[in-house]
Amino acid sequence: MADPDFEDFDDESPFATWVRTEREKKGWSQRKLADEAGLSGQQVCNIETGRTRNPQSRTRDKLAKALQATLPDAVLSAEEKQVSIAGLGALVGFEPYDDDALPEVKGVYVFYDRTKRPVYVGRATKRTIGVRVREHAEKFWFKSPVVHSASYLNIEDESLCKQTEQILIRFMRTHLLLNRQGVETEPEDEEANGS
């Protein structure tokens, strides 16, 4: 029997299904929806394909407004349930290249490549995730297809944030192409392992 607290992350995204259905009712392409919502075509594609799960509320609001549709509470609840971690909260997807949509909260974040493979885990405890992502933007590896999408988990507690980052890095060792292997932690002013 499946654990009800651990949903299969690869299940169809209820939000993606809703966006695609509403877009198709209007006869719009993904590009048309992106233009109407003020989003990038890549953002809309990532949402509809499930690469970006549970997007930030401002992204959901832009899509609903462009589609002139109300997002049903049942869709939002189902999406959040699929991406939630018991006791911690929901993973939230974000577009790492959209400076205006970067999360301005503390926590742990993961960058994924085009195949949804995690390639980097970082944390933000002294500054926000948005600040940390902007710092990565200056690095040679911060480009698609190496970094294609991202998600974060809002964790305000500094100790829990650090532990969560370390657990993720240790579990995904060989897949995290951009984290240095075998490093316990970086100094606090550096914040992220592998920076």
Q: At CB < 8 A and 24+ separation, what contacts does 68-71 make?
A: 69/22, 71/15, 71/18
20 and 60 Cβ atoms separated by less than 8 Å: no
Q: What number does CATH give the domain 14-84?
A: 1.10.260.40
Q: What is the pTM of this model?
A: 0.69
Domain with CATH 3.40.1440.10 in the chain: 96-175
Report the sign of the C-alpha dihedral through residues 95, 119, 137, 157, in that order: positive
Superfamily of domain 96-175 in the CATH hierarchy: GIY-YIG endonuclease (3.40.1440.10)
Neighbouring CB atoms inside 10 A of 149's CB total 25
pLDDT at 35 over 50: yes
**pLDDT digits over 62-115, tens only?**
999 999 999 999 998 888 888 888 888 888 989 899 888 899 999 999 999 888
Q: Which residue has the higher pLDDT, 187 or 37?
A: 37
Neighbouring CB atoms inside 10 A of 17's CB total 15
Q: Which residue has the higher pLDDT, 173 or 45?
A: 45
71 and 131 Cβ atoms separated by less than 8 Å: no
108 and 167 Cβ atoms separated by less than 8 Å: no
**pLDDT digits over 139-182, tens only?**
888 998 889 889 999 999 999 999 999 998 888 877 777 876 43
State the chain's maximal CA–CA distance in angstroms: 52
Adjacency order of strands within the sheet including 149-154: 92-94, 149-154, 107-112, 118-124
**pLDDT digits over 5-24, tens only?**
333 445 788 999 999 999 99
| Beta partners for residue 118, in sequence order | 112
Domain with CATH 1.10.260.40 in the chain: 14-84
